[in-house]
């Protein structure tokens, strides 16, 4: 597989959210606005890139039997880094993402890439894989966030498009997350077949 | 009364799946049949209550006294991963029938965000140990309730004639959305 396709497969062909259905909790939980979706996506991308790099660096010195706990420790360290950095520099975003920041640890995408890709490939490929998968995830979250924000409150990235009282509030609330994602995946399934 | 409120709030009003979006992976993954849903619920209840108690003790007797609260994420996930392994080994030895029933679900639980989520929420809400036990039990019941209702609906969905693009995940998500709407009716009870 050439380097370019390692990077681009995360966007469409193997997009974590739309085709592999991984990392659903943050996908549904934080996408009440486009900014939140983007912030969560980028935080996950950072963790994904760093953990992929470190895992591929240490893959030969980790015994096979304890590799999963070892990966989890590596991932958790980077999540803690993100958590503390966000708390210091982006307190508003940290507040609105809340519980979902520490929960990046248990996002199946991160552990999945460490196990399926980084533990078998060299550092540069792992970096590309992490960046591609992470940005694909960020793209999906931003899309869903933008759709929900637009339908729910008439805004997109906090930019007013139509007055808020005409918005369908349900799309900002919990049920709207499921419904919007359901239709989004249906549209993408349709596009893929065509 | 306080405990009744914890139960109602965690099962209906702040349902872990439909209002808080934790544990969606097993919710979508193992909800094709009611029987697997019941098995998963059993395993989650078992691990969630034990994990909450253990992480609570870790927080109160290790992290707080040594003032290393920033290690919360890393220590909790390690405790949970170790605990799941331990539960698996003990069950295999002590109660083979229970292991038969829950066995396949146990490894999946380490990466179930509901477990870590409840452990962290318990600390954030500043509950005492008894409240923590009540909270985690009630949350697990809420998880099971949503999962089993959803599995029941999905069994029927197999028989429905749908447009091609809507089959599988999309229609499941729409059903989950309607279920979440129904659960919103409980808002304001507590």
| Alpha-helix residue ranges (DSSP H) falling in chain A | 3-8, 24-29, 34-58, 67-89, 91-97, 108-113, 123-153, 174-193
Q: CB A176 to CB B177 under 8 A?
A: yes
Q: Which of A99, A106, A177 sits opposite B121 (nearest CB)?
A: A99
Confidence grade of residue B103 (pLDDT, cut at 50, 70, 90): low
Instruction: Count CA atoms within 13 Å of residue B83 on its CB side.
Output: 24
In this prediction the ipTM stands at 0.85
Q: How far is A2 from chain B (nearest CA, A)?
A: 31
Across A76-80, average pLDDT: 93
Contacts with B82 from chain A: Cβ below 8 Å: 69
Establish, for the pair of chains A and B, how many residue pairs have beta carbons separated by less than 8 Å.
121
pLDDT of residue B23 exceeding 90: no
pLDDT of residue A167 exceeding 90: no
Across B65-78, average pLDDT: 88
State whether residue A29 sits within 8 Å of chain B by CB: yes
Distance CA A95, CA A60 (A): 39
Contacts with A28 from chain B: Cβ below 8 Å: 21, 24
pLDDT digit string (tens) for A20-65? 788 888 888 888 889 999 999 999 999 999 999 999 999 888 888 7
State whether residue A25 sits within 8 Å of chain B by CB: yes
A96 CB-contact burial (10 Å; exposed 0-12 / middle 13-18 / buried 19+): middle
Q: Which two three-digit tokens encode residue B49?
A: 């209550």
State whether residue B112 sits within 8 Å of chain A by CB: yes
Q: CB A73 to CB B166 under 8 A?
A: no
pLDDT of residue B61 exceeding 70: yes
Q: What's the confidence (pLDDT) of residue B2?
A: 84
Distance CA A99, CA B115 (A): 12
Residue ranges per structural domain of chain A: 3-145
Q: What's the confidence (pLDDT) of residue A158?
A: 78
Q: Which two three-digit tokens encode residue B168?
A: 């599988």
Q: What's the confidence (pLDDT) of residue B139?
A: 94
State whether residue B169 sits within 8 Å of chain A by CB: yes
Q: Which two three-digit tokens encode residue A108?
A: 């199946």
Q: What is the percentage of chain A residues whose pLDDT exceeds 70?
A: 99
State whether residue B111 sits within 8 Å of chain A by CB: yes
pLDDT of residue B142 exceeding 70: yes
State whether residue A84 sits within 8 Å of chain B by CB: yes
Which of the two residues, B85 and A124, has the higher pLDDT score? A124
Q: How much is the pTM?
A: 0.87
Q: CB A102 to CB B120 under 8 A?
A: yes
């Amino acid at each position: 597989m050439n380097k370019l396709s390692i990077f681009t497969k995360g966007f469409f062909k193997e997009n974590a959210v739309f085709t592999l259905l991984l990392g659903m909790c943050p996908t549904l939980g934080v996408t009440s606005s486009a900014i939140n979706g983007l912030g969560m996506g980028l935080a996950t991308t950072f963790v994904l890139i760093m953990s992929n790099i470190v895992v591929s660096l240490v893959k030969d010195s980790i015994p096979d039997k304890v590799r999963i706990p070892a990966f989890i420790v590596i991932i958790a360290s980077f999540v803690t880094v993100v958590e503390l950095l966000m708390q210091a520099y982006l307190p508003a975003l940290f507040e609105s993402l809340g519980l979902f920041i520490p929960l990046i640890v248990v996002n199946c995408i991160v552990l999945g890439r460490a196990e399926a890709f980084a533990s078998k490939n060299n550092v540069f490929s792992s970096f590309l894989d992490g960046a591609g998968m992470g940005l694909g995830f960020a793209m999906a979250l931003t899309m869903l966030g933008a759709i929900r924000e637009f339908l729910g409150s008439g805004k997109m990235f906090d930019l007013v498009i139509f007055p808020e009282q005409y918005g369908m509030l349900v799309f900002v609330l919990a049920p709207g997350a499921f419904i919007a994602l359901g239709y989004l995946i249906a549209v993408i399934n349709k596009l893929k077949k065509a | 009364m306080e405990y009744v409120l914890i139960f109602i709030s965690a099962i209906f009003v702040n349902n872990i799946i439909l209002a808080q979006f934790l544990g969606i992976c097993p919710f979508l993954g193992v909800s094709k049949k009611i029987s697997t849903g019941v098995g998963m619920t059993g395993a989650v209840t078992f691990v969630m209550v034990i994990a909450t108690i253990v992480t609570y003790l870790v927080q109160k007797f290790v992290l707080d006294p040594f003032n290393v609260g920033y290690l919360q994420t890393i220590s909790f996930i390690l405790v949970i991963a170790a605990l799941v392994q331990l539960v698996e080994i003990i069950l295999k030895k002590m109660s083979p029938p229970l292991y038969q029933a829950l066995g396949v679900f146990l490894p999946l639980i380490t990466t179930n965000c509901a477990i870590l989520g409840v452990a962290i929420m318990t600390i954030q809400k500043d509950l005492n140990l008894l409240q923590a036990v009540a909270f985690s039990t009630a949350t697990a019941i809420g998880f099971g309730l949503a999962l089993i209702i959803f599995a029941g609906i999905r069994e029927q969905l197999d028989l429905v004639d749908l447009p091609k693009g809507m089959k599988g995940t999309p229609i499941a998500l729409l059903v989950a959305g309607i279920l979440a709407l129904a659960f919103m009716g409980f808002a304001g009870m507590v």
